[in-house]
Amino acid sequence: TSGHTDSRQDNHTTGGSVTLTCSVEDPAGLKYEWFRQTSDTSRKTPLQVENFDDSHTVITHGGRYTCRGWRREPEVLTPESDPVTIQETVSNRASLTLQPNWPQIFSGEKITLRCEIDGGGDTQWTYEWKPDKLNIPPRHSEYRINSVTRSHSGEYRCKGRKDSYSSTEWSNVIRLNVSPNKPKPTLTAHNAIIPVGGTVTLTCSVRGSADWKYYWFKRTSDSSVAQPIRDGVPDSISVSQGGLYHCRGGRGDPLFFTENSDKVTIQETVSNRASLTLQPNWPQIFRGETITIRCEIDGGRDSHWTYEWTTTSSNTQSPTHSEYRIISATVSNSGEYRCKGRKDSYSSTEWSEAITLTVSSQTPKAQLRADDTDIPVGGSVTLTCSVNPSSSGWKYFWYRGKKTSEPLTTPDVVFLSTGQIRVSQGGLYWCRGGRGDPVYYTDYRDPISINTISESGICF
């Protein structure tokens, strides 16, 4: 007859107990022996019990238990029962921590789950982990993932085991969330233009995660390679030079880097001043005239400047040199003009003060008058030419006879002042105004006929 061992509980908690029952088919007159094995490799040892006649025993320690029945008269010794495994829960508490303890983990980062046993310093612990896919060597208190993936997401717990039949309770749960993509930081600038002698603050941030240090890069021309300028600094820096900036975040050991941020263009304002001049500087410009707006940089002779222009006119011309030349002005050229000088792609002067250009739709006409139309014997008359509407910068061109003839010169007439001549010969006289380079001419005025009076009083 074989023995059979039953337990009222396969596990018992700290400070508790479990009752084992040994039963056989014919128990009359039997006494009972109990055996305990404390590890898979240890030998069974008999339990010390107070009453061998009792088929029940109370145990307070974990182990692998068996029993058998026996009596002397007539002699009976049953085979040992099948074993019953009892797990004991010890009083030490297991706690699980995540290092680094970030609310969001990204694919590729390195993390460590650490199982700590409260008050368990003098014990040689082995460790168990959930989920079961973490089948790591059981004596390790740390589960290290050198490069996490999305498949590592989930809940984790641990316990500490003293031996095969005694352990702590399961620890607290840590929920691991692994994002499949590298984060991309956001780069913002509180201003896109650095004032003269000033700075601009740039801020780099990774949304929804912590403990980032930031790495900053700058490019100084469209063709240059971005160079590192700051490593492992907080999220904001101040810059005093123009350039094309970007950043990325880094954290952990070894460093895990984010994607690069989008680039931000920062323009630096240099101390040189741009000023505009109008050549010729006439208060009124007429349709068809040639004018030049010149941009000059104060103290900028040692630099190779390119130029930018802006205008409220409908002109779409946008030169890159210091002169804005309008060969034949029209009303559409009217408006405000400004310029700036650019040292490179990311540094320039401020915009100059505006020059207002007004192009008149009128065609200026010459007006001709004479103080007398008859020249007395041995005398002369004075002719005066002016331009309407009145404006400055005119020179006057005089003709006698046909308009296609050459302008009169000093031997022919006496030039008194701008716009006045004295003539002593009769004839048909014309005039017109002209200014600029190339010369812009007014229309001809109707001619005046000047007569010469002979000594006999006859007009010629």
Residues of the chain with pLDDT under 70: 1-14, 132-138, 455-460
- d(C-alpha 71, C-alpha 258), whole Å: 78
- Asked if residue 430 lies in contact with residue 345, where contact means CB atoms within 8 angstroms, the answer is no
pTM: 0.71
Segments of 303-458 assigned E as strands: 306-311, 323-326, 335-344, 347-348, 355-357, 359-360, 365-370, 374-375, 381-388, 395-400, 414-417, 420-423, 427-435, 440-441, 448-452
What pLDDT is attached to residue 74?
A: 86
- pLDDT for position 2: 52
For residue 132, the model assigns a pLDDT of 65
Which residue is associated with the tokens 């109008």?
Answer: 278
Identify the pLDDT of residue 1. Answer: 43
- β-strand pairing of 374-375 with 414-417: unpaired
Spatial separation of the C-alpha atoms in residues 365 and 390, rounded to whole Å: 10
Residues 189, 190, 193, 194, Cα dihedral to 10°: -100
